[in-house]
Structure 1
């Protein structure tokens, strides 16, 4: 029997396409916090049926980006900085515990476990492109937690990371913040390799706190700028 290639127009592929397009619109503030829209509007703009739009929207709802309004369509969830603050606080708790456990490993095992991070953040030439550094920053923190060997810690941390990505990536839109990330990651790794637990935890905590403050400031600025843009 001949096997036909999977079509890009299969329902799941269309739903994924719509999901990625809407998520990017939210991340770029083309869809603003508080904006309301209908499934028909999205379907017409993306030239698809309402079914993949609805599937994508329910996925975005589960992730906390949009909410459904009975009889009046959908809304991008209003920006809740208190919510993001709580996520950052939880992230700090998980990562401090990860650092504590990594510092307790035999030095040779720790060095082997974090060898890829050492290679990228300490030995290799720094990247300059913000989105690439953002992806590597995310991988750095995910790796620290996953390296503890606790799958539930890693799972919860990965879910948390996804939720804060909408604002966290903004920390890499400025050159000075990219430089600071390289320096701070290197200091965290060196403290871990030398089993200086309290120092590693302190650097990590300060690193996350500064990032949190910066992304809040940048987000407020971008929201303000987006609201000033003329409607096309």
Structure 2
């Protein structure tokens, strides 16, 4: 009986092209994608997240999915229920108002510290950057405007010279990202946001931290009525989109 001859495997060049076009997703990339989905409520509020379906959708194993979800639980973007699994966080008025209260405390402190510790050049750079941003606002998308608004606040947080404070502010900003995007798209506060940011930056330039903090608190504060309207608008967008 002749021996079975095993021919060497030759990869199809087309297979190589496909593999080159679709690099394997790393754990950090999986985390970033799921984080963005959670920030934008691509999962519906209080919806159970099916890890197997998500893994199949993202073409990865279950392990990086679970690791990402566990990390997002600590960030407040996902919730976990014992023996039930991972869920999208809720979207309600109470959460918006509570997060806003915490944000006011953190950002008022940040602007006080920034006015005290930042250099003149850093404060002037902040003011000039926002003026340039305001000038080109009409050409920016609502997503870009939301990003610029978040950047303004994070620049101040970083100028506080307190990395722990900046980290906390970034966490709050992540959790209210969807709300801020709605505010920008609806143009509810768009006409005043530019002026309010400019006034905060100018007060900091004068080293008037207390005035800057007061302006910051007034800028961030949201009424219960506005919160109710935002929740109604947000829920409509979440449940009506087809993606």
Shorter-chain TM-score: which interval? 0.7 to 0.9
Partner of 1:126: 136
Contact 1:145 1:153 in 2 (8 A): yes
Q: Is residue 116 of structure 1 aligned with residue 125 of structure 2?
A: yes
Counterpart of 2:86 in 1: which secondary structure? strand
| C-alpha displacement of 1:104 | 4.6
Q: Is residue 54 of structure 1 aligned with residue 66 of structure 2?
A: yes
Q: Deviations over 1:25-63 (max 9, x none)?
A: 334433111111321121222232212221221122222
RMSD: 3.1
1:15-30 counterparts in 2 under 5 A? 15-30=27-42
Partners of 2:205 and 2:191 in 1: CA distance: 22
Q: Deviations over 1:121-159 (max 9, x none)?
A: 124523232222222222211222321323332233233
Partner of 1:191: 203
Counterpart of 2:80 in 1: which secondary structure? strand
Counterpart of 2:189 in 1: which secondary structure? helix
1:149-188 counterparts in 2 under 5 A? 149-175=161-187, 177-188=189-200
Bigger Cα Rg: 2
Contact 1:170 1:215 in 2 (8 A): no
Partners of 1:52 and 1:72 in 2: CA distance: 19
154 and 211 in structure 1: CA distance in 2 versus 1, 3 angstrom threshold: farther
Partners of 1:230 and 1:118 in 2: CA distance: 38
Q: Is residue 66 of structure 1 aligned with residue 78 of structure 2?
A: yes
Q: What is the TM-score normalised by the length of structure 1?
A: 0.77
* More RCO (CA 8 Å, sep 6+): 2
